[in-house]
Chain A
Amino acid sequence: MIRRILIRVAAVLVTLLIAISIAFALGRLSGDPTASILGPMATEGQRADLRAELGLDQPLLLQYFDYLGGIFTGDLGNSLQFYQPNLTMILDRVPFTLQLVGAGMLIAIVIGVPLGVLAATREGSWWDRAASALALLGQSIPVFWLGMMLVLLFAVQWGLLPAGQSGSVQHLVLPALTMSLYPMAHVARLTRATMSDVLREPYIDAARARGLSAGSIVWKHAFKNASLPVLTIVVLQAGTLLSGAVAVEYVYAWPGLGQLALQAIQFRDFPLVQAIVVFGAITFVLLNQLVDLLHALIDPRVR
């Protein structure tokens, strides 16, 4: 048991180290940030002075170890454009991205799961075909386009909801709807597939033979067993949504991590980009561990 835990911790650390190293390398490959900070009219001497002040004149290896040391002490550096600690900025933005991802995932589950179950229990019917078509559509529509269309309809034409930005529950509706479409389709398709398989199992026939109600068979006996892959995909999709939030946040001017990442990239603010990547990597690794933990809780065979 202890060996298993140690192996798992080592795997997590190696994964994080790789992610952190890639973030560092990409940051350095993206070129000289002094051009963005000082603008085109600065002389080479001024740029050299600034490089020295930022520690960019040091050997790469030294910069790398400084960077690693910082991360292990909780120091993710300072932003080159905002002149603020990166960690503070990330923590300021995380609640907004979590709201978006949480609300999007909630809509995806609330609609996607019943849709998948409906399609599986009525295989071959028009319900099934409609649900499948809806799921296909959900996975094909570009988020950017959908976002703009929703804004035009609900905010500009009908004036029912705000066009973007944050501030109230109403502000969250359109971004969350946009965010939910892709995972909703994914959840619906997966639920349909796994439920279809489970509903063909002999124990379901046995349950029917015992006279259990259709609802009880579907939700209590079939769905419980079909929910494991769905749960896995929900948690992993939540991780993917963190990165997918970039497009939605851009369209709706939502003040989350995605917007911050975009601005950091545009400005070549590589300490901030690196910090966001490191933060994302840690979140993703933790979500993976959460999936494993939930598997163990739900399925005794995994323990």
Chain B
Amino acid sequence: MFNQKRRGFRRSAAALAAAGLMIAGLAACGSDSSASGSSDTLRVVLAAQPTTLDPIAGARSGQVVWDTVIEPLVHTDLNLEPTKDGLITDWERTDDTTWTFTLRDGVTFSNGEPADAEAAVFALTKVRDEPTSILKSFWTNAESFEAPDPTTLVIKTKAPQYDLVNNLGTIYMIPPTYYAEKGPEGFSAAPIGTGPYLFDGQRAGRDMTVVRNPDYWGDAAKTKKIVYSWSSEASQRLALLRSGSADVVYDLPPTQQEEAKKADLEVMATESAMKIVGFLQTDKAPFNDADVAKAAALAVNRDQIVSGIFQGAAAADGGLLNVKPGEQPDDVVTQDVDEAKSLMGGRSVAVTVTYPAGQYTNIEEVAQAVGGQLEAVGFKVKYNPIDYGSLVTQVGGGELDGLYIFAAVPNVAVPSFFVNGFVRSASITKNCGDPKLDAMADEAVAAPDKEAAEAIYDEINRIAVVEKNCYIPLYRQVYAIATAKNVSGLVYNPINASDFTGVTVG
């Protein structure tokens, strides 16, 4: 009996031990050295897994990774202006609708394909014509793309467009033969470009690695290897940094920024180009009454929202077409409760405040604050939190009335981006349809240069925001990155792009 008992115990113990060993074995199978820090490796933790590394279909979440491997045709500086130090080294507006660009000579993709004008035409055509192209709508004015010789690219537009060069900052050079052979899925699994880093591989759901490109045409990157991983929870990202498991973490909300500072970590907070704006549907009640729309605009105090909710981790913004961070238009609407009440004339006007629940930092609090300020002047507010996808669909379908809060995120830092998206009669929001504004928008984009266009855009902004009150601009999001003390040289620009080439891990 004793033996039997011992056998039974041994069997149970052996089963548990075997299960334990199996789990440990499985876990050990995935172990690697990239988890430990070294001066050769930069460990970056993002807020979300990059969905695809195909720049044609890719959402912005992947840009931080593919930006190191694939390069845009035109580089931009920190002020978001095009520069001539990228793959395109010069350009000329040959006539109103024709642009001629010079490409850097002798650049090749890491697989040996030439990164020439033919490759640029291939990338442009994909962006314009692919149904899944995320930038398709910005290239509807493109008539043709031609490559008369390997270093010359000619773009013809249907109508004059002064800011075409800026748009080339969003077109990424991809190797035509490789892309055609692999397709979007294959390219995303192993992207090839001309950039300072080479894609080294990815482990499903865990991380992606890039290594220094020894044959990069420009200055070689200082760090040998970058490992990108991700964690959706901000506290977890900060914990990874604090515990030494990461060197750089992205997207820290205000609370975690404060914690990071207290923990003596470096926090880079950059005012982004992403604006949060209240849109008034002025072709429907209640905002088809100009006095009611003006009262709503006068009711809102954006400074109070920013200081009360974001503790400085956002920047109050009074304009719609001031695309670059730090810019403010001359004419803005500022809070005037007495005037707002007077315009309401004692009426109690019902208004729905719609917002994308959970989509942006503190958006619930912002919607409540805007609603509270509207109620203070006589509006009766009903809140309508919906998911982001439904909001986009309902905005596009013209199904909403009242006020909806939405982010304006420019892929390209030019006013026409927001004019086409939000101001024109045929825009996405269609909340401010006005033939006069349409004509001004046409005139602006056909202007000979940026300076001539700016004056017209200022006037469009004044009419749409200050005179007609179609928009209540609220604030710009501030993006925060925290780094370990021994990391330096990371450059982060306001449209969510990062330059890792100068980064050192000390």
Given the interface pairs A39-B134, A163-B236, the reply to whether A156 lies near B206 with Cβ below 8 Å is: no
Measured in the bound complex, the distance between the Cα atoms of B206 and A96 in whole Å is 10
Measured in the bound complex, the distance between the Cα atoms of B393 and A40 in whole Å is 8
Q: Are A102 and B229 in contact (CB under 8 A)?
A: no
**A110: which B residues are within 8 A, CB to CB?**
16
Please give me the residue from chain A that is nearest to B230 by CB atom: A253
Q: How far is the CB of A146 from chain B (nearest CB, A)?
A: 13
At the interface, yes or no: B73 with Cβ under 8 Å from chain A?
no
Q: Are A106 and B205 in contact (CB under 8 A)?
A: no
Q: Are A83 and B231 in contact (CB under 8 A)?
A: no
Please give me the residue from chain B that is nearest to A109 by CB atom: B16
Measured in the bound complex, the distance between the Cα atoms of B241 and A22 in whole Å is 41
Q: Are A267 and B51 in contact (CB under 8 A)?
A: yes
Q: Are A168 and B35 in contact (CB under 8 A)?
A: yes
At the interface, yes or no: A151 with Cβ under 8 Å from chain B?
yes
Q: Are B204 and A250 in contact (CB under 8 A)?
A: no
Q: Return the CB mask of A40-51 against B: 1 if under 8 Å, else 0.
A: 111110110110
**A38: which B residues are within 8 A, CB to CB?**
132, 134, 136
Give the number of chain B interface residues (Cβ < 8 Å).
67
Q: Are A103 and B23 in contact (CB under 8 A)?
A: yes
Q: Are B236 and A151 in contact (CB under 8 A)?
A: yes
Q: Are B239 and A155 in contact (CB under 8 A)?
A: yes
Q: Are B389 and A32 in contact (CB under 8 A)?
A: yes
Measured in the bound complex, the distance between the Cα atoms of B23 and A169 in whole Å is 9
At the interface, yes or no: B49 with Cβ under 8 Å from chain A?
yes
Task: From B34, B131, B243, give the contact of A163 (CB < 8 A).
Answer: B243
At the interface, yes or no: B235 with Cβ under 8 Å from chain A?
yes
Q: How far is the CB of A114 from chain B (nearest CB, A)?
A: 12
Q: Are A168 and B31 in contact (CB under 8 A)?
A: yes
- Interface hits, B22-78 → A, CB 8 Å: 22-24, 26-28, 30-32, 34-35, 48-49, 51-52, 54, 57, 59
Q: Are A253 and B231 in contact (CB under 8 A)?
A: yes
Given the interface pairs A42-B137, A102-B23, the reply to whether A92 lies near B205 with Cβ below 8 Å is: yes
Q: How far is the CB of B279 from chain A (nearest CB, A)?
A: 11
- Interface hits, A1-54 → B, CB 8 Å: 30-33, 35-44, 46-47, 49-50, 53
**A148: which B residues are within 8 A, CB to CB?**
235-236, 239
At the interface, yes or no: A244 with Cβ under 8 Å from chain B?
no
Q: How far is the CB of A249 from chain B (nearest CB, A)?
A: 10
Q: Are B16 and A259 in contact (CB under 8 A)?
A: no
Q: Are B52 and A165 in contact (CB under 8 A)?
A: no
At the interface, yes or no: B390 with Cβ under 8 Å from chain A?
yes
At the interface, yes or no: B143 with Cβ under 8 Å from chain A?
no
**B57: which A residues are within 8 A, CB to CB?**
37, 83
- Interface hits, A211-258 → B, CB 8 Å: 216, 219-220, 250-253, 255-256
At the interface, yes or no: A171 with Cβ under 8 Å from chain B?
yes
At the interface, yes or no: B5 with Cβ under 8 Å from chain A?
yes
Please give me the residue from chain B that is nearest to A224 by CB atom: B8
At the interface, yes or no: A172 with Cβ under 8 Å from chain B?
yes
At the interface, yes or no: A63 with Cβ under 8 Å from chain B?
no
- Interface hits, A174-217 → B, CB 8 Å: 216
- Interface hits, B416-458 → A, CB 8 Å: 417, 421, 428
Please give me the residue from chain A that is nearest to B57 by CB atom: A83
Given the interface pairs A50-B131, A171-B27, A255-B205, the reply to whether A31 lies near B233 with Cβ below 8 Å is: no
A-B contacts, 21 listed (Cβ < 8 Å): A31-B389, A35-B393, A41-B137, A42-B137, A43-B137, A81-B51, A83-B54, A93-B204, A99-B23, A103-B23, A156-B242, A163-B245, A165-B229, A166-B27, A168-B35, A219-B5, A220-B5, A220-B8, A250-B232, A267-B51, A268-B389
Q: A30-B389, A268-B389 are in contact. List 20 more A-B contacts (CB 8 A).
A: A42-B428, A47-B396, A49-B131, A50-B131, A81-B52, A83-B54, A89-B204, A99-B23, A102-B22, A155-B242, A156-B243, A163-B245, A166-B30, A171-B27, A172-B23, A219-B9, A220-B5, A253-B233, A255-B204, A260-B205
A: residues with CB less than 8 A from B are: 30-33, 35-44, 46-47, 49-50, 53, 81-84, 89, 92-93, 95-96, 98-99, 102-103, 106, 109-110, 148, 151-152, 155-156, 159, 162-169, 171-172, 216, 219-220, 250-253, 255-256, 259-260, 262-263, 267-268
